[in-house]
Amino acid sequence: DAKTTQPNSMESNEEEPVHLPCNHSTISGTDYIHWYRQLPSQGPEYVIHGLTSNVNNRMASLAIAEDRKSSTLILHRATLRDAAVYYCILSNSGGSNYKLTFGKGTLLTVNP
Amino acid sequence: NAGVTQTPKFRILKIGQSMTLQCTQDMNHNYMYWYRQDPGMGLKLIYYSVGAGITDKGEVPNGYNVSRSTTEDFPLRLELAAPSQTSVYFCASKDSSLRGYTFGSGTRLTVV
């Protein structure tokens, strides 16, 4: 599976936007970009996924670079409940799509 | 709508003991997974199943066994517990679309 690189940690202030970066320079044409987050003492939670176009849902937005070698998860107004570890994961649309590989992710701290 | 249910939530085992971690999902998902998460680390895949009667090894299968006799249940068996198996275990399921995994709340296992 292609690898991703994320900062170990980031900080933000409450009610401000947060941009979480992810580099994936070896992404293949059929790899989807997935984001999950893990709140303290909980299992991971699906956030969003995309292939080429930017995506929006009720939780976040996903901005994908034109060359697809990087992406950014955008939380439009961070709240204290958004403090979590955020994982950026690549998966092939084919057979290996059903085995996601989680790295260490980015620990997001939200200051009141 | 229970989602993915894991039992027990906590367990302390002595070295050499055996136990089964239970995982049940009520969403009729074909795919089910077992991950372990050591402190400060990402999740590592132990075993997965693409349907009833089909299982396969993940990244760290040694010391574990699984079975998938029904769509709903995917138990994880530890035969001879070792201190290295102290971890938090997460079960997850998904359907055949690109929608994300649904995780259980985890089982915290300590082997002493």
pLDDT tens digits, one per residue of B34-44: 999 998 888 99
A contact set with B (CB within 8 A)? 32, 34, 36, 41-47, 49, 87, 93, 97-105
Of B42, B59, B100, the CB nearest to A49: B100
For range A81-105, the mean pLDDT? 82
* Nearest by Cα to B35 from A97, A2, A99, A86: A99
Q: What is the predicted pLDDT for the residue at A94?
A: 56
- Using a CB-CB cut-off of 8 Å, the residues of chain A touching B34 are none
- Using a CB-CB cut-off of 8 Å, the residues of chain A touching B44 are 102
Position A7 confidence tier, pLDDT thresholds 50, 70, 90:
very high
Neighbours of B89 (CB within 10 A): 23
Identify the DSSP state of A80.
G
* Nearest by Cα to A91 from B92, B98, B41, B46: B98
pLDDT digits (tens, 9 = 90+) for B53-64: 999 999 999 999
To probe the interface with A, which of B49, B98, B102 has the most A CB atoms within 10 Å? B98
Helix (H, G, I), strand (E, B) or coil at B107: strand
